[in-house]
Structure 1
Amino acid sequence: MEQMNFGCKWPRAWIIINGSPTAEFTMSKGVRQGDPLSPFLFIIAMEGLNVAMKSATSNGVFDGVHIPNSSICTMRYSLGDWSQRNIAHLARILRCFYVSSGLKVNFSKSKVYGIGVPPQEVSNWASPLGCEPTVLPFTYLGVPAKNLSFGGRVTLAKAVLGSLPTYFLSIFDVPTGVIKAMETIRRKFIWGGPTCKNSIHWVAWDKLTAPKSVGGMGIGLIRSLNLALLTKWLWRLKNEPHSFWVLIITGIHKLMGESNRLRARNPWSSVWNNIVKNRNKLEKINIPFEDVMRYDENNGSWVSSFVKDGEKCIAALRDRIERASFPVNDGNFPWLRLIPKKVLGFVWRAKQNRIPSAVAPKNRGIDLASTICDVCKTSDETSGPILVSCTMARSVLQSILHWCGLPVNEFQSVQNIIDYASNWGNCPKRKDILTMILFGALWSLWKARNDRVFKKVDVSAERIVAATKSLTYVWVKHRGDETTQKYDPKIFVFRIFQTVIRASYNKTMRDVFQTIIEYCAENCIILHQIKATKSIPG
C-alpha cells in the first residue's frame, strides 16, 4: 500500500467508559459481497501480484514480451511468452503470492482457454497447472429471467448484456456475424429468454435499439458501441503521449514525431489497422471524421466536440452514431423518473399497438375463440378500445381528468393522451405529474383487463380510478424528489386520502377512517397499505 502512495499514518479511536478512556483501536469496516468497495480491495490485493511479476521479470525468472523498435518489455498482469518455462514459473509465483497474502488460487476450479491455439496444445499447457482445458464461449451463473418484468429485462439487456463485452469491443473490430449473434442473445432475452424459441417479438429490434430522442427505447446497438470505443483510442493516442500503451503503439508503427497523423505502418498489426480504419466507417454513415476529432494547426493539438472535462465522451459519440443510423423520427416519448420502467415500456408499446391484446395474437397466427372486447362488446380488442375508446376506458379517463380539475377530453389514441399531457400548461413539473397520473390510469386499465380475462374478476371504473390515485401517490412519494413530493398538496395529499374511503360504510367506520385520513394528510403518509383489509374497495 505504501507503493500505491497510501499514507503511513492511519486514524485510531478510543471510547470513554465511565469517565475513563479505553485503549486505542484501529477503525475498520466489514465489506459484504457486492459492496462498492470490493473492487478497490481487489485492486490493492492484486497490486502485490503485480509487484511480484515485475520482480520476476527483472530477475529473468519470467520472460516478458519485448516490443520492437523500443526498449519496452511488458511485465504486467502476467503477460509473457507462451512457453513451458513461463507457465511453470507462473504457477510458482502464484504459490508464493498465496503464502505471503493468504489468497490462494484454486487450480482445480480454474480453466485454461486458448484463442487461436490448437486444443491439444492448450491441454499440454493446462496439465502442469492442474487446470481443465476448455473452449469459448462458456456459461457463468445466469439471470432469473422468469421473475423479471419487461422493464427489468430491458434494463439488464442494456446495462449487463450490452456491457459485458465492453473490454473486447474497446480493442477489437468485432465481425458482423459476432455482432448479430450478440444482438440475437439480447433480443431473445428481452422477449422471453433464450429457452423460449417461439416467443413473440412484439416490437422491431430497430425501434428498441433506436435512441430515445427519435422515439426508440434507447437500448443501443453493440455496433455503435464498438465504433465509439475504438475511436476513443485515436483520441487518446494524440492526447496521452506518455501512456504505457502509447509508447508501445508508437514503437511498433514508428509514429514518433508525427503529431498530426493517424495511420498504421505495420500491415501485420490487424488490431491497430482496424482502429485506424474506423474513420472510413464513420464517413460511410455520414459522420465526417473532422466532426469527431481534427488537428488544429493554430494550437498544434487535436480537438473534438465529443470531449467533456478533457476526456473523450463515449456516450455522446455513441449517440451521434446511432442518430445517424436511425434517421426516422417516431416522435418523442416522456421517459420520466417518476414512472416505473415496466409502466413506461407498456405505454411505449401501447402507443405503437404492440401489446398482447386479443387481436394481436390472431394477427400472428394464434387462434383465439373471440377477439371482441369484453366491455363494449362491439369492437375488436386492440390497444385503442382497451385503454382509450371503450366505455370503461372513457369513464376512467374522464374521472381522472375531473379529479385533477381539468376539462373533460375525448381521447382518440394513446399517442393523443401523450400529446395532451406534454402540451398542457407551461410548468414542467405539472406536465410530469399529469403524465404520471395518465400513465398510471393506462396501467390500471391494463391490469383490470388482465384480471377480467384471466381471473374472471370484473373491476368497476370506480375501483380503477381509486387504484390509479393510490398507485400514482406511491410513485411520487418514493420515486420523486423533495420538490415533487410537496408540489401540489391539493392533488397529492388531501384529494388522494379523501377519495380512498367510500361513503358505503356505516357511520362508525367512516369516522374511524376519516381520522386516519386527517392524520395521514398532515404527516404525508400513504394510505395504500390499508387496502389489505378486505372490506375496503380499491
Structure 2
Amino acid sequence: MEGLNIVMKEACAKGIFTGTRIPNSNLTLSHLFYADDALFVGEWIEENINNLARILRCFHVSSGLKVNFNKSRVFGIGVEKQEITSLVEPLGCKPSDLPFTYLGVPVGANRWIGDSTLKTSFPEAYKLERYKHCKISDRLQNGDLIWDWKSAPRTLESVSETALLVSRISDFQTVQGNDKWVCTLASDGVFHVGRLRKKIDQWNLPTVETTLKWIHEIPLKVTCFMWRAKLERIPTACALLKRGIQITSPICSYCENAEEDTTHVLFRCSMAVRVWEWVLSWCNLPNIHFESVEEMLAFTTQWGSCEMKRRVLISICYGTTWFLWKARCDWVFKKLRTSPAKVVDSIKSTVFLWMKYRRKHCTFQWIDWCINPFI
C-alpha cells in the first residue's frame, strides 16, 4: 500500500487527480489507507474518475496487487444516483448511498438527533421528501421545519413519525458556523492520541496474555517452538485434524489415554508428567505442577527475585518442552520410545551447554549443575 500512497501523492501533485480541500485549512484529502483497506476522496468530475481508474490499473500492472472491485463501492455526495451509475463504469464498482461504514466508523451519517440517521428513524416521512439529498439547513429555519413533500402525511405511520420528529426538534437550537468534530476527552474539544492513551490506561483493563521471554541463551528454534506452542500452532493430532489433514486417530499414540493436543503432549501425557516431576525436583521445586503453556510461562516469568536464576529456570522449562516434543516425534515417526530418564538427561546436558557457551562469563560447573542448577 505504500507504493499506492506514493503514486496518489504524485498524481495529486501533478494535477492528475484532484482531492477534496478541507475547509478552514490548507490540507487536501485524496486517500486514506489502513492495512489493505483504501478510501479515495476527490472532486466529482468525470476526469477524476477516469484518471483514478487508470492509476489503479497501472498500480496493478506494476505491483501485481489488484483492487477487489466486487467489494468496492462509489459514493457521490450531493449527486443523483443516476449520475453515479453512469460515471462508475470505468472503475467497475457498484454505486451506493450514504451513510456507509469505514473501519467501523459511520461516514455520512447525519445523527444530529438520536443514535441513527433520520432516514432510519423516520422512514415513512423520508419517503415523502422530494429531494433526498437535501441538507438539514434546507429544512430547518429559525427552529421551524420547512417541508418539501410530494404529498401531505396521510397514513397513520407517516403522521405519527411527523409528530415524533417535531417533538424531538422542539428543543433543538442551531448555531451559526460550520460543522466540526468535537472530542469529549478534552475540554477544548481537540483530539490527541496521548489523551486517548491516558484514558485507556485509566480503565486498568485486565490482561490475560502471558509474556514469552526471548532469551539469548536459548536457541532461536526452541523459543520459536514455545511461541507456536503458546498459540496452539504445533502440529499435534488434534491440530492436524482441525486443518483438514486425515490421520489415523487423534488419540495420543504414546499413552493412548487422551486426545493429543498441545497441553496433553507437553504436560498431561504419562511421559510428560514423569519428566516434569524429575525436572522440577532437580530445580528444588517439587510442589509445582504445570497444566498448560500459559501457566508455565506465567510462573517462570515471575519466579524469584534474581534475574540470572530466573533466566536459568526459563531455559530449563523451554528445554523440557522442546525435548518432550522431540521424544513424541521420535516415537511417531521413528518408533523410538525414549524413556523419561533419558529425556531428563538430555535436558540437563543440553541446557548446561546453552548456559556454558551462549552466556557471557558463565561460572557453571557440571558437577554442581547435576545436583542443582541454582547452586
TM norm. shorter chain > 0.5: no
Q: Which has the larger radius of gyration?
A: 2
Give the TM-score of the pair, scaled to structure 1.
Answer: 0.31
Q: Which has the higher helix share?
A: 1
TM-score (norm 2): 0.44
